[in-house]
Amino acid sequence: MREVTVFVGGSVGVDPYSPRTWSGSSAYLMQAMKNAEILDSAVGIRVPMLVNYGLLAKNFNRNRGVWRKHFYFDPAYRHALTRAAKRVSVGSPVLMQIGHMFSLPVAFPEYPCVSYHDGNLAELVASGYGLEGVAAKRIDQAMAYERDTAQRMHTIFTFSEYLRQSFLRNYGVAEDRVLNIGGGINLPALPEVDEHKSYAEPRLLFIGTDFARKGGPQLLKAFAAVRERIPNATLEIVGPTHIEGLPAGATLHGHLSKADPAQAAKLEALFRAASLFVLPSLYEPFGIAPLEAMLYRLPAVLTGAWALREFVTPGENGELVEKGSVDDLTEKITTLLRNPEKLPAMGDKGRERVLLRYTWATVAGKIRRAVRTY
């Protein structure tokens, strides 16, 4: 039985099968739901062109980032997107939307509606990142809209327990209506295990386009201190296209796209050559890169907050560090690199954790079990 119609739209993207939609997760989720025989159809919704242009003009700001937020946070845009959803003909008993940019319960009040989230606006606001220059009124309007939508949902699915607790605390949703089903790694196939992998070389790997938010400046300071203790340590950086003042031993590779075979091969080579993955984010709604690194048997050093703290058990498959602390980051990296004999077992534990908790097949199975109780 194919029980679910999935809707995407707004800031996450409008093509459910595009590698760009929902930071690449949508296409993998759709395939997993299809394999689990619960996906009836997946649709992208758009605001009509003339309405869209009018809303863009209404929310114009010289700062493109602020303009984008004002546009997407505008209740008029969200109501228009909901009306667009209402025009879709559905044939499944359950409807699911990605995020709360629109409201399926308003469009289809007679159906059980669910939503799925890797983050939410309340946590973005609390982080202090990404909303610089955005009017407080517009943020309050978006929060009110998302709170109303959340409270109308039959069930809210989250990527993490941290996010589940946020919906209970910040959106006032009843505890039995928010379910942590996890998230998945965005890889077309699971990487094979390299039985001969060596951890002897002190090689660090960082992946993250938003270098500042992901703790890049703190990592550079920590790495310089690590090099004073371990002179042959190296740091491979993937994501940013330009960084000022790289310390000795650090190499910038820029953005590497999985859609480009040559770039994907280079990224895989970096995963396989590294001994340790490091992501000391200052804010991270979820974070798929550390999970992908764990599949390559890399112990991970992550900030001990948000969903990241659910990925790592300190001493078992990596370490957690205090947010923003260069000293803590330096000490944890140095200790792990000085004890390479401990890293293979930690890498094995990390891979086991990802395969058990963080695959799209696992997620689709949890969705199937949930919706079949409605």
Confidence of residue 188 (pLDDT cuts 50, 70, 90): confident
- Dist CA 117 CA 30 (whole Å): 15
The three-class DSSP label of residue 324 is coil
Structural domains in the chain, sorted by start? 4-184+359-371 (3.40.50.2000), 203-357 (3.40.50.2000)
Q: Are 289 and 207 in contact (CB under 8 A)?
A: yes
Neighbours of 349 (CB within 10 A): 18
pLDDT at 372 over 80: yes
pLDDT at 55 over 90: yes
| DSSP H/E element including 39 | strand 39-45
Give the pLDDT mean for 48-66.
97
Angle at 2 between CA 155 and CA 373, to 5 degrees: 40
- Tell me the pLDDT tens digit for each residue of 272-307: 999 999 999 999 999 999 999 999 999 999 999 999
Give the pLDDT mean for 199-228.
97
Using the structure block, give the residue that is written with the tokens 């009040």.
Answer: 109
- Dist CA 168 CA 176 (whole Å): 10
Angle at 186 between CA 184 and CA 190, to 5 degrees: 90
Q: Are 293 and 300 in contact (CB under 8 A)?
A: yes
pLDDT at 335 over 80: yes
- Dist CA 258 CA 261 (whole Å): 7
pLDDT (0 to 100) of residue 34: 97
| CA nearest to 240, candidates 260, 266, 214 | 214
Phi, psi of 114 (to 5 degrees): -130, 160
pLDDT (0 to 100) of residue 259: 84
- Tell me the pLDDT tens digit for each residue of 131-174: 999 999 999 999 999 999 999 999 999 999 999 999 999 999 99
The mean of the pLDDT values for the chain is: 96
pTM: predicted TM-score of the whole model, two decimal places? 0.94
pLDDT (0 to 100) of residue 213: 95
pLDDT at 331 over 80: yes
Give the pLDDT mean for 63-82.
97
Confidence of residue 1 (pLDDT cuts 50, 70, 90): low
- Dist CA 43 CA 34 (whole Å): 14
- Dist CA 321 CA 327 (whole Å): 9
pLDDT (0 to 100) of residue 258: 87
- Dist CA 249 CA 246 (whole Å): 8
- State percent of the chain over pLDDT 70: 100
pLDDT (0 to 100) of residue 334: 98
Rg (CA), the chain: 21
- Tell me the pLDDT tens digit for each residue of 224-279: 999 999 999 999 999 999 999 899 999 999 999 988 999 999 999 999 999 999 99
| DSSP H/E element including 284 | none
C-alpha torsion sign, points 17, 23, 24, 30? negative
pLDDT at 337 over 70: yes
- Dist CA 277 CA 39 (whole Å): 35
Confidence of residue 2 (pLDDT cuts 50, 70, 90): confident
- Dist CA 76 CA 55 (whole Å): 8
